[in-house]
Every structure is written in C-alpha cells, then in structure tokens.
Amino acid sequence: MAGIISYGAYIPLWRLSRDAIAEAWGSASTRGERSVANNDEDTITMASEAAIDCLAGLKRERVDGLYFASTTSPYKEKECSTLVAMAADLRPEIITADFGNSLRAATAAFRAALDAVVSGSASQVLVTASDCRIGYPRSNYEQTFGDAAAALLISNTARPAVMVEGSHSLSNELYDVWRLDKDIYVQSWEERFIIEHGYTENMERAISGLLRKKALSVQDITKAVLYAPTSRAQQGLARRLGFDVKTQLQDLLISNVGITGCAHALLMLVAALEEAKAGDKILVASYGSGCDAFLLSVTKEVEKVKGNRRGVKGYLNSKRPLSSYARYLSYRGLLEPQPGEPFRLFPAATTSWRERNWAIRMHGSKCKNCGTVTFPIERVCYNCRSKDNFEEVRLSDRKARVFTFTLDNLAGRSDDPTIPQVGVEFDYQNTRTYLPMTDCDPGEVKVNMPVEMTFRKLYEGAGMYNYFWKCRPIR
Amino acid sequence: MESIKDKVAIIGMGCTKFGERWDAGLDDLAIEAAYEAYEDAGIDPKDIQACWYGSVTQPVVGIGCTHLAGPLKLHGIPMSRVENWCTTGHEALRNACFGVACGMYDLVLVLGVEKLKDTGFPGLGTGRGMSTVLEARRTAPGSFGMIATRYFYNYGLSPEEGKRIIGKIAVKNHYNGSLCPKAHFHNQVTLEQVMNAPIIAWPLGLFDCCGNSDGGAAALLVPASQARKYRDDPIYIKGIGAAHDALLPQNRPAFDWLHFEEVINSSRQAYEQAGVKHPREQIDIAEIHDCFTSTELLLYELLGFSPEGKAKEDIDSGFFELGGGLPVNSDGGLKCFGHPVGASGLRMTYEVYKQLQGKAQSPERQLKDAKLGISQTFGGPPQVAAVAVLGKEPGYP
C-alpha cells in the first residue's frame, strides 16, 4: 500500500511578534507571532533540516528519490532537490525534481511521489516542501506569513504509518495571489473575491468530490487538515462542509508559525500525525490555482515515528523572540545590512564540486589503518600518514560540544555583528572542526556547551550562493 | 643534519618607522628599511649578490618580486619572494642564511615589507583561510581568541582572572613601545584601560590585539668569516628553526589547544642548533609573537621561559619586563611596535641585533650584558612558527 512511512518538519528558531510589526507601522496587530528564517537560511536549508528530521534513525541509502517543492526557491535556474539530497547525504543514484510556482507545489510533489512508488519507478521518495514568502511591508500578509519546511517519506510497503486511500484534484485558473518573475512581494486581488470564488468554492468542490468518491461523510473524518490563507477562511470552509470546527479541524498554526506557503499543508499534516492514532482518517487539502485533496488512514505503524522526530511539536516549542521588525527586514534582505569585511574567497563551481562530500555531505575521513577521524576529509592520515586509505563517515547527524570558542566582532555583518567561532569536538573519536555558531545568543556560548550541526547559506559570491554547515545550541 | 650556528653573520640592519604610513607605499617602506641597513653596514648596494624578500598581502602588492626590484634597483641578481603567514620575515631570513652558508653568496639582502593600510579595513581582513567555506569568516583575533578561551578554561581561570593576566602583557608592551621612537604606538596604558577596552574577539579586547601597521625591515648577511671586515660588532646566527603542524588547530583530533607542536618543534630546532639547553636562564632578550596578549602568554610556556601553567607567576613578578630576568618584547612587540605581517620576523630580529650590539633606540631601553637573544613568530590559523637565535660572540653558548 502506498503511503507515508516517516515525517519531519522544520520551523526556524526566530519568532517575530505581530505586535512588533504592527507597532513599527502604527497598524493593527493580528496577534500572536510568526516564524522568521535566519539570515543564513533559505528554502534549501530549511528543506534540508526537515529532510534530516524525517530520516532520523532510518537507512538513508534506501531512499531513491527526493522532491523539493517551493515557491521561493533561491534559484530560478538550477535544481535545488539535488542540493537538499546531498545535504541529507542520499545516494547519487536517485530521482530528483523541483516543484515550484504553485501553492500546491508540495501536494503535487506528494502525488508524484505516490505515483512513483506505485508504478515501481522508485521504492522510497522523500518529499520536501519549504517556503519563505514575503508580504508587502505593512500588508496583512507580512504578518500572517511564516517560514517553515516539512518532509514526508513515501513508500509502497505492506505497512506504512499512513495509507493514502484516495485523492481528488481540480484545476482553476484565477488571479488570486501571484508573483511576477521579477516580484519580491506576493500580489493579490481583493480578499472578498478570492476567498469566495477562489479558496472556498474550489476547496469545497474538491473535498466534497473526494468524500463522494470514497462514499464517506464528514463525520467519518477524524481530522481535517485544511490549508487556508486565514483562520476565518478555514473555519468558514469547515462549517460549510459540515465539520465540527472544535474537534475535527486541525489547527492552522497561524497564531504561532504563520502561513508557510506551499509547505503549509504538509506542515499541518505532520502536526496532525504527531497526535494521530491507528484507525484515524485524515483529510488533507491544499489550495493554489485549484485544489488537491487526499484521504489518509493512520495505522499503528505511526507509533514508531511519533516521538522520534523533532517535528512540528519539537520545533514549535524551541523558539526565541526576534528582537525587532528591523531585524526581520534585514534577515529577508529587504534592508541591506552593511556587509562587513569582504569575503576573500568566492565559491567556484569546480571547488564546490570537488569538495561536495565534505562540504555538503559533511563527511569526514576515518583512517582504515589507525582509526583517526578528521574533518574535512584528509587523503593522507594526520596520525599515521596512510595514503588514500580511509572510509568516509557522516558527521552531520553527530552531536558535538564546544571545545573552545571566541566571540568575533570582526566577522559578522551589521545585523549580526558578533559571530561565535567555535572549535567543536564531535561525540566520535575526538573528531574536531571549526564552525561558526548560529541561532544563538553569543553571550550563552561556553566551553563544553552541547551543539548540533545545521546546514546553512554562508554568503553570496561569484553569482552563486555558498552553503556549508554551522553549529547551533541543541534545539 | 648540520647546524647553521656561527656560519652566517648580520652586518647591517634597518627598520622603518611603523604605523599608519599613509604617505608611504610598499616601495617607500622597502627603500627606507634597505638604505638604513646599507648605511649601518657601510656597503655599496651594487655589491649585493642576492635578495630574499617576504611579504604576505598579495591583493595589495601583486605577485613576484618585480615591484621591489624596480624601486631598489636590484639589477642583475636573483631575488626570491617568500610568504608563510606571520613567519614570512623569518622565512626570508632562513632562506637567505642557507644561500650564504652554502658558500654561494657573500652578501645577501633580506627584506620583509608589508603595506596593510591600503586595504580599506582596519584588521588583517576576514576569511583568512584557504577554503571558500571552512574558514570563510576566520579572522586573526578570532583564531587567537580561541587559544585564550581554552587556556583560561584549562587552568580554571574566570574570564576576569584570565583577562587580568594577559592585560598585564599589554601594559608591559605598551610601556616598552612608548620608549621606542619607531613604534606604531607611544601611549602607555593601565590595566584598567585594557580590561575595559571594547571587545574585538572575546575574550580579547582592543588592547589585547596588536597594531595593524605598515612597515618594513631589512638585514644584510655575509659569511661569518668575513663579518669583521665590515664591522666590529656583527651579530651571528646561532640557530634558525621553522615548523608547521599538518592541520588547523581547530581540526586536529584531540588537540589540547596548549601544546602547539609547530612552536615546540621550531624552537627545539633552533635551540639545538644554537646549543641552548635552558632557555629561561641562557636567553637574555626575546622578541616573541605577541599578535595578541594571549599568544605571548602561551609562548612563555611553549618556548621554555616559564613552566607549564606558571607564566602568571613570572608575569606578576615582572620577570619579562625591561629590568626583569628575561626581558620580552623590549621594543613594544607586535602589540605596540606594530605588525606589518611580512616585516615582523625581521623587525624582531632588528631589535635583538641592536640590543646585542648595545645600540638600542633610546638608552633607557638598553639591556645590560645581553649576549644571546631570540626572535620568534607564530602564524596562520595558527599553524606555522619560526625561531631565530642570535648571539654577539662566536662560539657562545
């Protein structure tokens, strides 16, 4: 049976209070807080986090496909799924594809993954969805949007954690929200029109169609995971369909995360699965120029995944307040930070390619003669000088601690002037390396502090983004 | 392996005024240092047979040697450029020594020159590494600050206690530099000023960091046997060592951040060649790599001046001050004299040379009866170190 065998999520550490946005503009606050990706995060790094969360404890070599869905990919031309797959240390012999442009990109990827495992062209496909959309300054969207990523591992297996029992889709050509190829901010038509004739009408048709197809009534559904641009739209739809808003409607995550673009339906689904029991029927519907609706059935296998993932619950509780609206603007590149001293060495396609196994996969070398582990990969052993006699070992999922550090006031940029530079020691063979620390208060850094690895964007140079690993306090 | 001891002598040295030399280019600095050395030695520059030249910041001066061969008019002779982080000046000296010791050349010019103040930023720059990702934001104070953090941790010192210990090194070096006309800075500082200074790379504050300076230094080398033809007080090369560690300290498996083998190995080489068995007792003057005060602290122990973990006691007793048992950085060091990277190894050697001759700039700094001295550099992530031992008497020690 085709279904979901694991799930993962990622929500950035930083949360911006909507009151802070409203205060900056003298406008009304929609209350609560929204997640904000750090200045070293983008949809590739967030998708990598969700992918790695989803793969915790699983054999990564069994994954033979990775899809990346986003409307805010850092690249217009260049595949991102390949980079996410490499950061997640998947095999090279896999299928990859990027899904974009639509708020339904993630459910399109989900459907494609299901089709792939059912047809037999792949046995396990990891679907990642990640978005970081920007609303116009002072617009409602600026307050309601959030940044996050989600991941689902799809397989055709006898006992998936979640079985996919049916689906129904419809396509609808409509200008409700859009961005031109040169736009930074999301444009939209008048809300009353787009909610009524866009969101509500299409979602209602698709969901009713699915229930009819499966000969089910709304009472048969344990949880309805309904994407929506606002709480009001979601509740209005739920009432029209006949759901009990109090018991059957999955929380929209708007008060504490925000609407996270194409990732949102999957993010809500992950949150639903974290609370699901065997036998639950879950209805998932995403919206964007049409609608994709899926009927899911939870099995007892879900218990093996629950509690072993950070997931939405873990990342929701791990948060820090972003100190100001100005910082948000700077993190999103809307205000340009003073860059600090220039980077001396720009990325090069050749070096990025040659160094991919240590720089992106975070592999170290373990000497087959003496067992010494070094990062980056050393062809000649530091200890015994054996040449080309090593195996690669992944360090990205290892815990580590601060061995020594400095709080460097010369290395940062104006919106993050102090960079903790850390000599870390992994919990493996006294392996050491040198990483900046991110997502932290520099004042909390101490010798022996536990840290974990996180894949981040380092800087832009030579017309490319340059990615590498950093450490962060354990979330 | 043979020893370099007493095979090569320095017969002349020069050193520019260090500082923010907005008025001077790399060529001006080279001319200023070289012509002081020519005058000191009483030689005609036409008699120079080869030149070794060290400089680090390629973005400013470009590659090769031609940009100095022209200004110095070094016609018809070989000229080699060396670069190895902060040991660059010593590397120029070391290679030139071998050119003389093997009998190939009778008069060699050694130059170390650096023009830092043409870069537009106050420090040495960010992204000191050789990888586009691994050390993309490494800075010099950030690298050496990590040594301070671990030293404090290792000896159970609170940041406050640790900063007081290294702060006294800044006070000493500023005092020494204030007496030195060619030094970048001439201000004396108090321990409270050092403690309260803005943080550059915690735990290092402004006064824990060396000056970012323009400057140059030069030496003229001859075979030891010919030295007295030029002057009565030549200074002899007693030993010269250099060593690397094979990895960045941050990447060395299980490294304790105290025993930097590049420092230990380079000093062992130089001490063995010179016959120095008890550095604390035998060395009369030491110019060591105080790029940051914490570096000088650790070097006291690694170079055998203080027992491990006991440098604090020597600092408190004034052992390394001008009137102490082993004066260190009597010209103010990198801290106060300044650190034009490629020049520093030779600037240190200049101070030792002048002190051994009894010709220190400004008499209140002149040390009594100094017979043996060292100059020492330590650089990169850090990952490389060099030591030169110098003496005024052939055969000693």
pLDDT tens-digit series, residues B363-374: 899 999 999 999
Contact A277, A243 (CB under 8 A): no
CA-nearest residue of chain B to A430? B254
For the segment B161-187, the average pLDDT, to the nearest whole number, is 98
Contacts of the segment A448-451: beta carbons below 8 A, 24+ positions apart: A448/A401, A448/A402, A449/A401, A449/A402, A449/A473, A450/A399, A450/A400, A450/A401, A450/A474, A451/A399, A451/A400, A451/A401, A451/A402, A451/A422, A451/A424
Distance, CA of A437 to CA of A153 (rounded, Å) = 30
User: What crossing angle do the helices spanning B293-302 and B140-154 adopt, rounded to 10°?
Assistant: 60
Residues of A in contact with B148 (CB under 8 A): 406
Which residues are paired to B202 by β-bridges?
A407
Count Cβ atoms below 10 Å from residue B120 Cβ, excluding itself: 8
Active site residue B86: yes
Is B333 within the bounds of a domain? no
| Best of B124, B130, B133 to mutate (most A CBs within 10 Å, chain A) | B133
Distance, CA of A418 to CA of A415 (rounded, Å) = 9
For the segment A384-392, the average pLDDT, to the nearest whole number, is 98
CA B188 vs CA A29, A122, A297, B173, B339: distances in Å: 56, 73, 77, 9, 18
**B98 interfacial to chain A (CB closer than 8 Å):** no
**Among A458-467, B45-54, B259-268, which stretch is predicted with the lowest mean pLDDT?**
A458-467
Cβ–Cβ below 8 Å for A410 and B131: no
pLDDT tens-digit series, residues A206-243: 999 999 999 999 999 999 999 999 999 999 999 999 99
Is B83 within the bounds of a domain? yes
Closest CA to B390 of B260, B219, B177: B219
**B131 interfacial to chain A (CB closer than 8 Å):** yes
Contact B106, B100 (CB under 8 A): yes
Question: Starting at the edge strand that comes first in sequence, how are the strands of the sheet with A162-171 ordered?
Answer: A95-100, A65-70, A124-131, A148-156, A2-10, A162-171, A290-298, A281-287, A223-226
Is B229 within the bounds of a domain? no
Q: What per-residue confidence (pLDDT) applies to B123?
A: 76
In the block, residue with structure tokens 């940051």:
B292
At A462, the pLDDT band (50, 70, 90 cuts) reads confident
The domain tally of chain B equals 1
**Catalytic option among B51, B86, B210, B336:** B86
Count Cβ atoms below 10 Å from residue A23 Cβ, excluding itself: 13
Contact residues, B window 320-379, toward A, CB-based 8 Å cutoff:
none
Q: What per-residue confidence (pLDDT) applies to B63?
A: 86
Cβ–Cβ below 8 Å for B130 and A409: no
Backbone angles phi, psi at A78, to 5 degrees: 150, 130
Q: What angle do CA A83, A86, A87 make, to 5 degrees?
A: 85
Q: What per-residue confidence (pLDDT) applies to A344?
A: 67
- Write the CB contacts of A385 (distance below 8 Å, at least 6 apart in sequence): none
CA B248 vs CA A370, A432, B135, B257, B380: distances in Å: 20, 10, 10, 11, 9
Domain that holds residue B43: 8-121+212-222
Q: Compute the count of residue pairs across chains A and B with CB atoms less than 8 Å apart.
A: 149
Reply yes or no on whether the pLDDT at A342 is more than 70: no
Facing residue for B250 by CB, picked from A373, A409, A434: A434
Is B242 within the bounds of a domain? no
Chain-centre distance for alpha carbon B241:
13
What is the phi-psi region of residue B236: left when phi exceeds 0, alpha when psi lies from -120 to 50, beta otherwise? beta
Contact residues, B window 251-280, toward A, CB-based 8 Å cutoff:
251-255, 257
Q: How far apart are the first and last CA of chain B?
A: 19
Active site residue B339: yes
Closest CA to A148 of A349, A27, A319, A394: A319
Query: Above pLDDT 70, what percent of chain B?
Result: 98
Reply yes or no on whether the pLDDT at B122 is more than 80: no
Is B47 within the bounds of a domain? yes
Facing residue for A344 by CB, picked from B125, B248, B254: B125
Reply yes or no on whether the pLDDT at B59 is more than 70: no
Reply yes or no on whether the pLDDT at B1 is more than 90: no
Residue type at B46? K
Distance, CA of A270 to CA of A7 (rounded, Å) = 6
Facing residue for B251 by CB, picked from A374, A407, A421: A374
Nearest Cα of chain A lies from the Cα of B199 at a distance, in angstroms, of 7
Q: What per-residue confidence (pLDDT) applies to A343?
A: 66
**B155 interfacial to chain A (CB closer than 8 Å):** no
Is B3 within the bounds of a domain? no
At A263, the pLDDT band (50, 70, 90 cuts) reads very high
Cβ–Cβ below 8 Å for B126 and A459: no
CA B59 vs CA A343, A344, A345, B301, B380: distances in Å: 13, 10, 12, 35, 17
Residues of B in contact with A459 (CB under 8 A): 136
Query: Is residue B234 classed as helix, strand or coil in its secondary structure?
Result: coil
What does the block give as tokens for A252?
Answer: 């929209």
Distance, CA of A153 to CA of A284 (rounded, Å) = 16
Contact A202, A291 (CB under 8 A): yes
Distance, CA of B299 to CA of B304 (rounded, Å) = 8
What is the residue-averaged pLDDT of chain B? 95
For the segment A114-138, the average pLDDT, to the nearest whole number, is 97
Reply yes or no on whether the pLDDT at B14 is more than 90: yes
**B146 interfacial to chain A (CB closer than 8 Å):** yes
Facing residue for B132 by CB, picked from A340, A345, A447: A345
At B125, the pLDDT band (50, 70, 90 cuts) reads confident
At A407, the pLDDT band (50, 70, 90 cuts) reads very high
Residues of B in contact with A376 (CB under 8 A): 131, 134, 251
Query: Above pLDDT 90, what percent of chain B?
Result: 91
This complex has an ipTM of: 0.95
Nearest Cα of chain B lies from the Cα of A376 at a distance, in angstroms, of 8
At B121, the pLDDT band (50, 70, 90 cuts) reads confident
Contact A398, A428 (CB under 8 A): yes
At A203, the pLDDT band (50, 70, 90 cuts) reads very high
Residue type at A312? V
Distance, CA of B289 to CA of B345 (rounded, Å) = 9
Reply yes or no on whether the pLDDT at A406 is more than 80: yes
What is the residue-averaged pLDDT of chain A? 96
Percentages (nearest 5) of helix, strand, coil residues in chain A: 30, 30, 40
Residues of A in contact with B132 (CB under 8 A): 345-348, 351-352, 461, 466
| Ordered structural domains, chain A, with CATH | 2-187+252-278+303-331 (3.40.47.10), 349-473 (no CATH)
Closest CA to B169 of B187, B151, B194: B194
CA B52 vs CA A98, B36, B42, B46, B91: distances in Å: 56, 17, 20, 16, 9
At B129, the pLDDT band (50, 70, 90 cuts) reads low
Q: Which residues of A368-400 are buried (b: 16+ CB within 10 A; e: fewer)?
A: eeeebbbbbbbeebbbeeeeeebeebebbebeb
pLDDT tens-digit series, residues A37-49: 999 999 999 999 9
At B282, the pLDDT band (50, 70, 90 cuts) reads very high
pLDDT tens-digit series, residues B68-94: 999 999 999 999 999 999 999 999 999
**Among A359-368, A440-449, A454-463, B122-131, which stretch is predicted with the lowest mean pLDDT?**
B122-131
Q: What per-residue confidence (pLDDT) applies to B128?
A: 65
For the segment B302-322, the average pLDDT, to the nearest whole number, is 98
Is B37 within the bounds of a domain? yes
Comparing B5 with B118, which gets the higher pLDDT?
A: B5
Check which CATH number belongs to the domain holding B74 and give it.
3.40.47.10
pLDDT tens-digit series, residues B196-254: 999 999 999 999 999 899 999 999 999 999 999 999 999 999 999 999 999 999 999 99
Helices (H), chain B: 26-41, 58-61, 66-72, 88-101, 140-154, 159-178, 191-196, 227-230, 261-274, 279-282, 293-302, 311-317, 333-337, 344-357
